[in-house]
Amino acid sequence: MGIPLQIVILGASGDLTARKLVPALLSLAGRCTEPFRLVGVARRPLSHEAFRAQLRAELPEEDRQAFDGFAERVHYLQGDAGEDLTPLGHQLEALPGGAGAGRLFYLALKPGLFLPAMENLARGGLLAQENGAPWRRVVIEKPFGHDLASARALNRTLQSLLREDQIFRIDHYLGKETVQNLFAFRFNNTIFEPLWNRQHIELVQITVAEELGVERGRAGYYDAVGAMRDMVQNHMLQLLALIAMEPPSSLRPETIRDQKVAVLKSLRIPSGDACVRGRYTAGNVGGQAVQGYLEEEGVPAGSTTETFVALRAELENWRWAGVPFLLRHGKRLPKRFTEVKVQFRVPPIQLSDAPGTEVLADGLACALRPNQLTLSLQPRETVSLGFGVKAPGPGMTMVPAQLAFDYKDRFGGQTAPAYERLLLDAMNGDPTLFLRNDEVEAAWAAVDAIPGQPVRDYAAGTWGPPEADRLFHGCEGGWSHG
């Protein structure tokens, strides 16, 4: 970074600041060559000392001693991001580095405040980089718009205030070590890259399953967006883009992001019955009785918001034509896991005995699919490859086996939190793991094109509406259960 750094969090009294941003910044504080200052801005009337005490109380016990050494660099300003932010400029001028410091503004705000906050920052001269001023960057949380039209309008306004290279649209999934490994795994292992196409891959599944409902007061936010906008449009389409992108010619940020955009622009949902939406009703999750979505506190009566989405999508490009990408996300499912499963085709002739096939309910005899590559993102970060081996004894009877890799077993401990990696990249001006304007718009265009479907009930603790199982055709198999 090379110059003093000031980090400003607008909306600093929220849950995101205490749970994610401050722990990440605390970890980074000992690694940055230049000490940075943190300024929290929120409407609550707090002193610097009260704000520090509030943040400290939210930290795990093992981090509090480290925070005590960092606390003197933490400051607070009572203010409304939707109103005049001139006092913020005065406070930043008084901190070490003053106007000569690099400034990172993090919008930990409700989406409706993004534009007012940006306009007030610009009006106060806090975003200007002219006349030799050091860098100014803004990190914007999701959701970035609620459809294609609103995302375009937001992009236009932002680009009237900032250059594109100053805007860092964050998707914390891209900071996860295993998500980054999707890229490294594909392009650094020649045993897989030649097989990564329609000739060898039958289908790809992407699942984000959650046991939780809409606890902790999230119902108001969630009911306005639903499963499609909360998870599919951003996190899951980012995973799809990394799985399906063409090899970039270099590791330059724009080269990588160009390839991701090309995938999203080729995404198609073939017809109305290729999308299933659902909503959980009362049931049992992990041995605990839970209420239905419509009974959750804060959910309006008569809500039609979905808590489950399953899609059968296709990519209209040379590499993937005809290969289905099956995406599934739901709340109140039997277990929590996130994974990508790549299912390879079977040999043209089966030379094994009968156990190499299974008979489906409709009488269709199908060859087993022993070759599946599974990349698990949570709760454990693992990579496993399934294959068939001959069982001892006479005959050619095949049984499944696996090769497996576990991040924790190999590297020990926990991988760095996603926000830590992404905040460091934003400080350094590296946009590789952030979303470009056309990338956001391409994802919204794909989601907006999905036809509306009725919201079907499913009991909490089950795997969603049974209609989702019908997205698999013929002998393709079924959804992973983690």
Q: What is the CATH number of the domain that holds 114?
A: 3.40.50.720
* Percent of the chain clearing pLDDT 70 (strictly above): 95
Asked whether residue 388 is assigned to any structural domain, the reply reads: yes
Of the candidates 141, 158, 188, which is a domain's last residue? 141
Give the model confidence (pLDDT) of 258-277 as tens digits: 999 999 999 998 777 899 99
- Same-domain status, 451 and 400: yes
Asked whether residue 367 is assigned to any structural domain, the reply reads: yes
Asked whether residue 159 is assigned to any structural domain, the reply reads: no
Of the candidates 126, 141, 156, which is a domain's last residue? 141
- Residue of 90, 146, 172, 235 marked catalytic: 235
- Same-domain status, 191 and 129: no
Is-contact 115 157, C-beta < 8 A? yes
Give the pairing of strands 357-359 and 365-367: antiparallel
Which residues, listed in sequence order, are joined to residue 374 by a DSSP beta bridge? 341, 384
- Same-domain status, 217 and 281: yes
Domain residue limits at 129? 5-141
pLDDT reading at 146 higher than 80: yes
> Catalytic: 200?
no
Of residues 220, 291, 222, the one with CA closest to residue 460: 291
- Same-domain status, 352 and 445: yes
- Same-domain status, 411 and 320: yes
Distance between CA atoms of residues 316 and 320, nearest Å: 7
Is-contact 117 152, C-beta < 8 A? no
Lowest average pLDDT, out of 7-21, 394-408, 446-460, goes to 394-408
- Same-domain status, 132 and 193: no
Asked whether residue 154 is assigned to any structural domain, the reply reads: no
Task: Show Cβ contacts of residue 466 under 8 Å, excluding neighbours closer than 6 positions.
Answer: none
Distance between CA atoms of residues 213 and 283, nearest Å: 12
Angle CA 196–199–204, to nearest 5: 55
Asked whether residue 196 is assigned to any structural domain, the reply reads: yes
User: In this structure, what CATH number is given to the domain that contains residue 224?
Assistant: 3.30.360.10
Is-contact 261 246, C-beta < 8 A? no
- Same-domain status, 229 and 286: yes
pLDDT the model gives residue 447: 93
Task: Look at the chain and report how many structural domains it folds into.
Answer: 2
- Same-domain status, 137 and 227: no
Asked whether residue 79 is assigned to any structural domain, the reply reads: yes
Give the model confidence (pLDDT) of 90-141 as tens digits: 999 999 888 889 999 999 998 888 999 999 999 988 998 776 778 999 999 8
Asked whether residue 149 is assigned to any structural domain, the reply reads: no
- Same-domain status, 358 and 236: yes
Asked whether residue 136 is assigned to any structural domain, the reply reads: yes
Of the candidates 120, 141, 162, which is a domain's last residue? 141
pLDDT the model gives residue 352: 64
- Same-domain status, 287 and 338: yes
Give the model confidence (pLDDT) of 84-99 as tens digits: 999 999 999 999 888 8
pLDDT reading at 362 higher than 70: no
- Same-domain status, 216 and 128: no
Give the model confidence (pLDDT) of 327-340 as tens digits: 999 999 999 999 99
- Same-domain status, 354 and 408: yes
Number of neighbouring beta carbons within 10 Å of residue 45: 8
pLDDT reading at 65 higher than 80: yes
